[in-house]
Structures are given as C-alpha cells and as structure tokens.
Structure 1
Amino acid sequence: MATQTIAEAAQKIVTPETLIYAAKQSQRCLTVPLPLRRAIKKYLREQEEPYMKRKVLRLSQSFNEIKNVNLQLATTTSREIVEHPLKSLEQSKRWKITSSYGDIGLTYRDEETIAYVASRMPAVYSACYRVLKEVSRRLPGFSPTKVLDFGAGTGSAFWALQEVWPKSLEKVNIIEPSQSMQRAGQRLIQGLKDLPLIHSYDSIQALSKDISKSERGHDLVIASYVLGEIPSIKDRITILRQLWDQTQDVLVLVEPGTPHGSSIIAQMRSYILWMEERKHRKSSKKNNEVCKDLITEKAGAFVVAPCPHDGTCPLVKSGKYCHFVQRLERTSSQRAYKRSKGEPLRGFEDEKFSYVVFRRGPRPREPWPLDGITFDTLKEQQAKRNPEDLEIDYEDWLKLQEADDDAPREVDAIRRYESDGLETDGDGEDDNEEVKETEEETEIADLGGGWGRIVFMPIRRGKQVTMNVCRSIKRDASEGEFARMVVTKSKNPALHRQAKRSIWGDLWPF
C-alpha cells in the first residue's frame, strides 16, 4: 500500500474550516456547577458561624503573609536548583521530609476551612476545571481510572475531575494533612451519586505505606495550589519527585497566576524535563540495543500544556511571566461574604493561574496543523465569487433586518444571577441531574507540534489582530520562542477570522 504523505494526513486532521474549533481551549465565563453551589451553601448553612466576612478577610491576609515569606527566599538558592538540580538535591534529604506541607505552610483549622469554602473554593475549582478540560481535549483517548489528588483541600480538584471524567474514575487517593479540610471535603460530597472509591491520607509517606509498590502508579496525579505553600525549594523538589514516582501517565501542577506561582511552575517544569532527559542519556549509552529500545519507549516526558515545546521557557528573560486567567460567575456565598473596596461587588471574578501538564513517554510525532493547507488572500476570494452570489433580494434583506431587531440582546455575564434560585430549589435529590448547556463541538488539537499558545489577550485594531504567541520553532518541539504576530484580513481572511475569536490561552496553528 502506498504511504500517505504528511501533507495528505494533515488535510484529514485539520481543515481551514475546523481550525478555529481545534484552537479553542479557554472558557470565557465559567459557571460553577449546580451540585457544587448547593453543597457549599448547605455546608455554610450548617456551620452557623458568625462574623464570616471577618474570617474571609483574615484568610486573605494569611495568603498574603505566605506570599511575602516565599518572596524572601534567596534567589541564589532558586537559581542553583534550576541550573544544577542534581548537585543541590544531593545536599538535602532526597526522598523524605520530616514535616508535611501543612506544618510548614498554612495550617487550616475550622475557621480557615469555613472561610476557604465560602470564598476560595469556587475559584480554585474553575482553574482546575479549565486545566483538566484542556487535558481531555488534547488527549482524547485519555480516561483516568486511578487518580491521586495531592493537597486536596476541600476537594476543588475532585469536583473538577468528576465534571470532566464522570464515568471513568474508579479510585481516588486524597492527600491532605488538615483534618478540618478532610472533614469539609467529605461533607460537601455527601449525597452525590456514583462516586468513585475514595481513600484519604495525611502524607505521601502514609500513602506509600498503605499500598504496595505495584499499586503506586496513578493514571493522573494533580497538585493544585499547594506547592506555593511550601517555603523550602528543596522540599518542593522532594515532593515533586515523589509525585512523579506516583505518576503512571499524566502529572498536573497548578499554582496561582502570580510571578511567584509562575516561577514555581517554571522550576518544576525545568526539573522534570531535565531529570527525564538525564535518564534518557544514560539509557542511550548502554550497549544492549534491545534493552535500550525498551527503556526509550517508556522513559522520557513531554509537556502537554500549556507549552508547545520542551525547550527552555522563552519568557524567563523577557520580564514577563506565563499565566492565564479564568473568569467565573461568583456564587451567592462569594458575593455574600467577600468584601469590596468601597464599590459594589462585581458578579464575576477573574482567577489567574499558572500550570503545566506532563506526560510520560516521548512526544508523539504528528504533522503540523497547517501542513498541506493553503489559504486565499482577500483579493483571491473576491475574484472567485460568482456575480449571482452578490445579488440580494430586497424583501429578504428586510426580513433579515426585522429578525435581527426582534432578537433578544445578549446579557452581560456579570449581571446574570438567575442561577442563584437554583441553589435552593429542590431537596438535593437531583443534584447530579443538572441541565447542561450544549457546548460547541471542538476538534482535537494533536500534540505533534505546530500549535502555539496565545499568551495575554490579543489586541484587535481595525482589520488586524496582534497576538503574543509562544510557539515551537523545531519539528521535534525541542526549542521554542515568544513571538509577536500580526494577522491581517487582506493577507489571510481565514486566519484573521480565527484571530478575532481567539482569547488568552487558546492555541494558534503556527
């Protein structure tokens, strides 16, 4: 049989008409699922805690104190970890740390836990959902059955997992040293149906002792909003290695979208890629070719998202930091307990986050999205039009105008509060039967390279769109660059139409 060329294969994967759907990864304004909103409201009602606004404010101040402590760490230690990971690691305890992250970070008692559920849990859920949703889109055949949630807190990542892969989850191991957080998480999921088997632990060491070595492989390991609470960089590296050992397929790290959170993600990204590259180099030196081939198939790691390449981050020396934003409609509890600075509290909030997703194994080699695809310029498109297509019936045109005038206007997301009534309707028996809006079908974006990432919001001026894109400059995705791109309607109407619809965090086919 004749083999297909790369260009022919690419045309079957992506066409100019489907590019815009394949590139769409971000969510414009996310609404927290009805079961979670009801669970939070029920939990807060049961607590009957006075001075809730004061407790939420105190929790926010605690987060700021932790951030200030982390910023006081010596930059030389951070630089040493990234540039000489093995040397720095040998000077510390490689596999064991004496205290759990909760002891050296923020200790959550009942008061902090209640304030966290009221103010932060929906926002953390939205960031986790956004990241996990992209993992499901970019890895269409990936359906995790066994999951490890490190630093689970009150279960924000667990709720996102249930929303993205509701039918595949069979077992979830939760690591959370705060007993108050564990109790809150258990209360919030009471009444949910078809839950997977859940086991709770207070440390990675407790998990390792409870299960055998053969059972430590998890399809998905996620650590969200936890590494930043560990002041010691060496302890972060130690925990990262432990999490990577527990990972059989995909590892997800999520941190706040601050310069410090982005720095943590960049450090963890560099370390994992360096460690796996070092293993690969060692295996390549062996003389046994059969053994080398087996190791090569299983060893290695690559970045699924957000980076389109596995090289050095091009933003490190640019004075900018890689982060993204997810807008969410505030729940009634958030609007009730959060304070605003002299102005009415908005109906939405923007959660900024940084993240990285790793997968074990070598990066798949697939054709780039624009291979074999040609685009017409605006003049070429106009030249191909038939005169009959330009004729407009005046009566049909009037009907279209009347239809447009009668069409209901779209309401801004910040003023939508209709969902509040649903939080108290019913007795909770149908929490899992929330009616979901039909989402637009999205094409799959392959991982073979060529898909850049839009960083920061595109700027639209007239008939041109300017974007900051992080993209791969080599076919093997070993090196990348941060480029400023300008797309004009005259040169490429199809890509210009896509650029107008693209937002911060979407993919770009270059």
Structure 2
Amino acid sequence: MDFGSGTGSVTWAAHSIWGQSIREYMCVDSSAAMLDLAEKLLKGGSESGEPYVPSVFFRQFLPVSPKVQFNVVVSAFSLSELPSKAERAEVVQTLWRKTSNFLILVENGTKAGHCLLMEARDLVLKGKEKSPLDPRPGFVFAPCPHELPCPQLTASEPLACSFSQAYHPIPFSWNKQPKEEKFSMVILARGSPEEANRWPRITQPVLQRPRHVHCHLCCPDGHMQHAVITARRHGRDLYRCARVSSWGDLLPVTTPSELPPAAAIDPPES
C-alpha cells in the first residue's frame, strides 16, 4: 500500500523490482485528480487502455476494517505535508496498524525531514500503538543498526541522516544532465529485533585514499565512528570490501572495536 501515492511512483518502482510476485497494489491519495492521473499514466495516457501494472487499486481513504493489512506499507514525502504533530502521529499509528511486515517512511534528506522520521520511529518503538489483531512489536530494520537516539541529531553539530540517489530528469534541452536527490528514510518491521542485521551503516560517501579507506559509520552501540581501514591492520578482505562499499551500505563487522578510530577526524560532510 502506498499512502500519499501521487502519480503512483512507488507502484512503478515496486513492479520494476518484484514484477508479478506482487499480487495487489493499493494507492491512497486524498486528491481524486491525482488518482485519475496515476491511473491514466498506468494505461499509457489512455483512459480505456490496459494498465501496464496489473491489480492496482485507487482509493481516497485508507481501508476502514482493522483486519485489512498489507505486507509492505509506504509513505514517501507525505508526512511533511501534514499540518501538525498530532496529525502525523495519527497517520503513523494508522499506517502501522495496516502493516503486517514492513513500514517504509521516506522524506527529504534535510534535518527537518530526518526529524519527522525519527518522530515516527520513536512512536512505533515506544509501543504506543497496540493492535489487538497484531500485537507483534516493531523494530528498526534499516538504516539504523540500533534503536537508540540518533547520534546524528545528538551531535554538537546535528546532521541529517540522508542518502543519495542519482536519476535522469525529463530530457528537456535545458535539463539533460543526470542529477542527485538526497533523501532520508526509516524502515520499521514487525517481529523481534534479533531478526535485524546489526552491522554498522556507512553514513557518508566512502573516501578512498592510497592504501587506506575512510568510512563514517553509525554503529550498533548508538555512536558514530570515523574508521580508517587498511589491509595491514584489518585484513585484505575487509579492506577490499570497504573500497567497493558505497554510502548507505552495511559494513560486515560485528563490533566497533574491530575498527580503531582515525587518529585525526575529518570534519563531517554536509
């Protein structure tokens, strides 16, 4: 289910990855005109054509029945459109009730967008929303390798935890070059936290230097660490892994102590 579906971009993205394995899509948007546009795009611009993605349903409101759940629920750039914290909390609670496996929240890669996601994350983790039909607790599946306060926001100079995605814009004559968009996200899952992978997450672009690699990591103990990885100190396998890793990847080490911190910490990148 896609809440605040707009033009249906989540449906297109999900279909491109999972294809026919998804049996049903539900697009929810308060704007009837936007739903009409999304449906028309799926039909190639024709109101009577066959949709490119089958089994897509459009609704202006969320399903009322508490028994209706979806394997994956997505809200992309929708929480920031709500006018108050109380309304955001109500929407997050409703979306969590509709989630049977994963709730994916995406916002702009700014401090404001990141704070909205941490607000939603804390609401689910504190268990304020108890569903009698699905009492399984929630845990952070990604990107955080922990459920502690975000170290990016508690630092002396707070930064947004964001990631970057390159894309090709519509190729007008004045807009041909590839661009990048920063975004923040959090994926919440139902079940036990033991099911999550607790490797450190790379939170900034990996800096490759002669015979060493700089990685900025969010660690399972809830702290940030700037690690300098070399083949001599950490082994050739980990060194090669770090060199081919990218911003947003997990680094396969189990404890921060395996990575001695850098002697001199570079200033964080914005």
Match of 1:189 among 42, 49, 53: 42
Matched, 1:471 2:214: no
Match of 1:324 among 156, 163, 183: 163
What per-residue deviation string (whole Å, max 9, x for no partner) do you get for residues 201-225 of structure 1?
A: 2223xx31xxx443x1111111111
- Quote how far apart the aligned CAs of 1:193 are: 5.8
Which structure is higher in strand share? 2
Give the Cα separation in 2 of the matches to 1:235 and 1:198.
27
Number of the residue aligned with 1:199: 57
TM-score (norm 2): 0.83
- Quote how far apart the aligned CAs of 1:184 are: 1.3
Summarize the alignment of residues 429-468 of structure 1 with structure 2, pairs less than 5 Å apart: 447-449=196-198, 451-468=199-216
Give the Cα separation in 2 of the matches to 1:192 and 1:168.
19
Query: What RMSD, in angstroms, separates the aligned Cα atoms of the two structures?
Result: 2.2
Matched, 1:223 2:75: yes
Q: Larger Rg: 1 or 2?
A: 1
Number of the residue aligned with 1:171: 24
Number of the residue aligned with 1:415: none
Judging changes above 3 Å, is the alpha-carbon distance between structure 1 residues 185 and 194 closer, same or farther for their aligned structure 2 residues?
closer
Gaps of 5+ in 2: 44-48, 254-270
Number of the residue aligned with 2:260: none
Give the Cα separation in 2 of the matches to 1:168 and 1:192.
19
Task: Check whether the contact 1:169–1:196 (CA below 8 A) recurs between aligned residues.
Answer: no
Summarize the alignment of residues 284-303 of structure 1 with structure 2, pairs less than 5 Å apart: 298-303=135-140
What is the number of residues matched between the two proteins? Answer: 244
Number of the residue aligned with 2:242: 499
Matched, 1:353 2:183: yes
Task: Check whether the contact 2:164–2:183 (CA below 8 A) recurs between aligned residues.
Answer: yes
Secondary structure of the residue aligned to 2:126 is helix
Matched, 1:314 2:158: no
What per-residue deviation string (whole Å, max 9, x for no partner) do you get for residues 174-193 of structure 1?
A: 21111221121111110566
Matched, 1:482 2:224: yes
TM-score (norm 1): 0.45
- Quote how far apart the aligned CAs of 1:229 are: 1.1
Summarize the alignment of residues 29-428 of structure 1 with structure 2, pairs less than 5 Å apart: 148-190=1-43, 195-204=53-62, 207-208=63-64, 212-214=65-67, 216-275=68-127, 298-318=135-155, 319-332=158-171, 335-336=172-173, 345=175, 347-364=177-194
Give the Cα separation in 2 of the matches to 1:458 and 1:198.
39
- Quote how far apart the aligned CAs of 1:230 are: 1.3
Gaps of 5+ in 1: 1-147, 280-294, 340-344, 366-446, 474-479
- Quote how far apart the aligned CAs of 1:329 are: 2.5
Give 1:454's aligned amino acid.
I
Task: Check whether the contact 2:170–2:176 (CA below 8 A) recurs between aligned residues.
Answer: no
Task: Check whether the contact 2:168–2:176 (CA below 8 A) recurs between aligned residues.
Answer: no
